[in-house]
């Protein structure tokens, strides 16, 4: 989304600055390395893949640490200890909006500290019995949260939204037909998933209609999946082409300047290396393609 307004620097760590040249080369190299997997597995792809795993693991670790450990424990505990001696801070201490003393807030949070230490016992022994306590707590809380939320939002509300008038005075034939399809289709799909009754003719008939509705829905899902994947591909091509602008060129004019931009230089290098490797492998049986 950042439009180029000045020539890029070789490297610029300022996130508000235009993309730098080193960054452009790196993006093109990594993108085309991943795409090279479509030809065959190769060292460019392997390097990019392992770099991705390393960097993404580190990123997620940093974010989870920041939100779940640093803010919730490393900053929270000293803050509450400080509040023990500061009446103004003590008066503002609350849990879920309910006012509590800093002592109570600290005591409760120590529970989380104790459970975290129990969980870390897994580092010593994978099946450490004490690590089951925090897992049990997580399971219980998530089960309760999901149970109440799903029942209200999906069971109750969805049934309520279905039990509405099928027609009105000013509704068109298409709208009425659509409402009928909606209600009958819903009932038929639910009947299809009833396995506790023996399937007689009636039930089988409803179930067959349910299967038809499901197939149409899955087909639609497939169509949307294609849409999503192609959109991702177009965005990658768009980003590569943005680094093919003259501002990123290493020199020259016209089409020479275009060829000396990061996507073309990097792409040329990868194609050259893979072509040389293919020539050197001539005569050997081909492994299965990607």
Partner 1 sequence: MKREIPILLTVICGLLVVAAFFAPAPDAARGLQPSVWQAINSELLEWAKILVAVAFLLGIANVVRINLRQIQARHVDRPYKVVLLLSMFAFLVVGLAEMHERDLPNGIVRVLVPADHVTMKDGHVVAGWVQGATETGIRMRDSDGHDLPEIPHDQVALVSEPSAKMWVYFKIFAPLQATMFSLLAFYVASATFRAFRARSFESTLLLVAGAVVMLGQVKIGNDLTGGMAAPVEAFLMDNFVKAAERAIAIGGSLGVLATGLRIVLGLERSYLSE
Partner 2 sequence: MAAALAFDRRWIYLGLGLLITGLYAFGSPEELPPAAPVQEYYDAIEKLPEGSIVMLSADFDPASAAELYPMFYGTLHHLFRRNIRVVGVCTWPAAPPFSREAFRSIAPQYHKEYGKDWVELGFLVGDDVAMGIIGQSLRSAYPNDALSKAPYDSFPLLRDVGDSSRGIAMLITISAGFPGILEWIPQLCTRYDVPVLAGTTAVQTPSLYPYHPRPLLGYLGSATGATQYLQLVAPGTPALVPVREENQRRMVAQGWGHLYIVALIVLGNIIYFRSRRRAA
**Segment 132 to 171, residues that bind partner 2, using CB under 8 A:** 141-142, 145-146, 148-150, 152-154, 157-158, 161
Cβ closest to partner 2, residue 204 vs residue 220: 220
Phi, psi of 95 (to 5 degrees): -125, 115
95: β partners: 98
287 makes contact with partner 2 (CB under 8 A): no
57 makes contact with partner 2 (CB under 8 A): no
Cβ closest to partner 2, residue 15 vs residue 200: 15
- Tell me the C-alpha distance between 143 and 149, whole Å: 10
Cβ closest to partner 2, residue 133 vs residue 222: 222
State in angstroms the smallest separation of the CB of 194 from partner 2: 20
Q: For partner 2, which residue of 17, 53, 136, 217 counts as binding (CB under 8 A)?
A: 217
- Using the CB atoms, write b or e for 165-191: b if 16+ within 10 Å: eeeeeeeeeeeeeebeeeeebeebbeb
175 makes contact with partner 2 (CB under 8 A): no
How many whole angstroms from its chain centre is CA 124? 31
What is the DSSP track for 104-122?
Answer: HHHHHHHHHHHHHHHHGGG
- Tell me the C-alpha distance between 76 and 67, whole Å: 11
- Tell me the C-alpha distance between 253 and 69, whole Å: 54
- What DSSP character marks residue 72? I
What is the DSSP track for 176-212?
Answer: HHHHHHHHHHHHHHHHHT--SS---HHHHHHHHHHHH
64 makes contact with partner 2 (CB under 8 A): yes
- Tell me the C-alpha distance between 188 and 212, whole Å: 9
Q: Binders of partner 2: how many residues, by CB under 8 A?
A: 56
Q: Report whether 278 contacts 39 (CB < 8 A).
A: no
Cβ within 8 Å of residue 266, ≥6 positions away = 25, 28, 29, 32
Q: For partner 1, which residue of 151, 168, 275, 281 counts as binding (CB under 8 A)?
A: 151
Q: Which helix (H) or strand (E) holds 95?
A: strand 94-95
Q: For partner 1, which residue of 7, 158, 168, 241 counts as binding (CB under 8 A)?
A: 158
State in angstroms the smallest separation of the CB of 256 from partner 1: 26
Q: Binders of partner 1: how many residues, by CB under 8 A?
A: 123
222 makes contact with partner 1 (CB under 8 A): yes
176 makes contact with partner 1 (CB under 8 A): no
Q: For partner 2, which residue of 4, 76, 257, 265 counts as binding (CB under 8 A)?
A: 76
233 makes contact with partner 2 (CB under 8 A): yes
Cβ closest to partner 1, residue 38 vs residue 279: 38
State in angstroms the smallest separation of the CB of 148 from partner 1: 4
123 makes contact with partner 1 (CB under 8 A): yes
Residue 168 binds: one of partner 1, partner 2, none (C-beta under 5 to 8 A by kind)? none
Q: Which of 30, 71, 20, 75 is nearest to 53 (CA)?
A: 30
State in angstroms the smallest separation of the CB of 148 from partner 2: 8
Binding range to partner 1, per CB under 8 A, among 13-21, 84-92, 163-171, 265-273: 13-21
Cβ closest to partner 2, residue 158 vs residue 168: 158
- What DSSP character marks residue 153? I
């Amino acid at each position: 989304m950042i439009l180029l307004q000045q020539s890029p620097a070789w490297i610029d760590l300022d996130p508000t600055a235009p993309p730098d040249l080193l960054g452009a080369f790196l993006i093109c190299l990594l993108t085309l390395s991943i795409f090279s997997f479509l030809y065959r597995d190769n060292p460019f792809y392997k390097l990019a893949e392992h770099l991705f795993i390393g960097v993404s693991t580190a990123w997620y670790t940093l974010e989870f640490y920041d939100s779940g450990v640093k803010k919730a424990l490393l900053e929270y505990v000293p803050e509450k200890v400080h509040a023990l001696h500061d009446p103004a801070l003590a008066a503002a201490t609350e849990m879920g909006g309910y006012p509590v003393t800093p002592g109570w807030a600290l005591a409760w949070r120590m529970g989380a500290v104790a459970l975290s230490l129990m969980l870390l016992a897994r580092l010593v022994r994978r099946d450490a019995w004490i690590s089951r306590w925090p897992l049990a707590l997580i399971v219980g809380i998530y089960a309760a949260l999901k149970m109440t939320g799903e029942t209200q939002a999906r069971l109750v509300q969805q049934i309520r939204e279905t039990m509405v008038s099928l027609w009105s005075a000013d509704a068109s034939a298409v709208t009425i037909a659509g409402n009928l399809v909606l209600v009958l289709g819903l009932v038929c799909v639910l009947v299809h998933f009833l396995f506790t009754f023996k399937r007689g003719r009636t039930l089988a008939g409803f179930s067959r209609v349910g299967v038809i509705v499901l197939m149409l829905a899955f087909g639609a899902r497939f169509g949307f999946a294609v849409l999503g994947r192609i959109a991702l591909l177009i965005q990658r091509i768009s980003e590569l082409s943005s680094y093919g602008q003259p501002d990123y060129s290493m020199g020259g004019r016209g089409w020479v300047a275009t060829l000396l931009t990061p996507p073309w230089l990097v792409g040329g290098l990868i194609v050259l290396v893979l072509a040389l490797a293919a020539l050197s492998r001539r005569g050997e049986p081909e492994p299965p393609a990607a």
